[in-house]
Amino acid sequence: MCNTAYAYGPLEWRQWIFDTLQTATSLGIIVIAAAGNGYGNGAQNLGVDLDDASCDGLFNRQVRDSGAILVGAAEAVTRNKTGYSSYGSRVDVQGWGDKNVMTTGFGDHFDPVPGDDRQLYTATFSGTSSAAPMVVAAALAVQGARQAAGEPPLDSFAMRDLLVATGLAQGTGGHIGPLPNVPAALAATSANIPLAASIDVDAWSPANEIDPAAAGFLPVAIHTESKSSGDAQDFDATQVDLDSFALVRAWPRTSRNLLCRI
């Protein structure tokens, strides 16, 4: 890798991988790739500067562009670049990379049935390895909503532009781009996509646990949001048509997070 022989950056640094990604995106496939975790040897907390001269312009879009969406690692709360994340003008968007992501694997957090790999969990998934799947999820949400609304799919270039244009601004550090903002992306991509609102019935209190499959009424509060107040989007709750308000998806019965359609 450029800068140093021991650094970790985007895999498209290798020409054959770049050619593979470029072929995929030319066919309309959305490609999302990790930007890499810099030196990654525990001795230094430095990311790779992809704009450095030692990279020979391989991450300069004016020289070549695979069309892939490159993802850097950020601190979940501040959206600041993590020290080890690779960075530069070629990095498009960010995801959480500071050990705040829980996923399957390892079993160091939860291992209810020893020997059953399907039930191993870790709470320390990190780096651009955890950041990239978050962007994958955002792209899938946008693409799925477009499909449901009868809209044509976006290609990798269009998705990249959309996530960058509608994302939440990066904090400090070398450039890794904004954090994808799915509601803003949906609002910008098509007028035919209904607005989705996330309803959280006090997720930390067992007393408020609900069963979405139960009969009866579920009272909810819909709050107005304003970018001027620091919210992610502008939304006027008084304009909601209550006759068209409907629950369109619920997570498993033990969940208290509901996705509703307005």
The Cα–Cα gap between 183 and 195 comes to 8
Query: Strand 93-96 relative to strand 69-74: parallel, antiparallel, unpaired?
Result: parallel
The number of residues making up the chain comes to 262
Residues of the chain with CATH 3.40.50.200: 11-189
Q: Walk across the sheet containing 196-200 and list its strands.
A: 196-200, 257-261, 246-250
CATH T-level topology, domain 11-189: Rossmann fold (3.40.50)
User: What pLDDT is stored for residue 257 in this prediction?
Assistant: 36
88 is written with which tokens?
């530069």
pLDDT digits (tens, 9 = 90+) for 100-118: 677 777 777 777 777 777 7
Per-residue pLDDT reduced to its tens digit, 180-193: 999 889 888 866 66
- Quick one: pLDDT at residue 193? 66
Helices of type H across the chain? 15-26, 127-148, 156-166, 182-189
The pairing of strands 32-34 and 69-74 is parallel
- Please tell me the distance from the alpha carbon of residue 154 to that of residue 186, in angstroms, as a whole number: 12
| Phi, psi at 33, each rounded to 5° | -130, 150
pLDDT score, position 254: 36
243 contact partners, CB below 8 Å, separation of at least 6: none
Distance CA 146, CA 132 (A): 21
The upper half-sphere exposure of residue 64, i.e. CA atoms within 13 Å in the direction of its Cβ, equals 14
- Average pLDDT score, the chain: 80
pLDDT at 222: 73
Parts of the chain with a pLDDT under 70: 1, 3-6, 40-45, 100, 190-221, 230-233, 244-262
- Rounded CA gap, 17 and 30, in Å? 15
d(CA 30, CA 28): 6
- Amino acid 201: pLDDT: 55
pLDDT at 114: 77
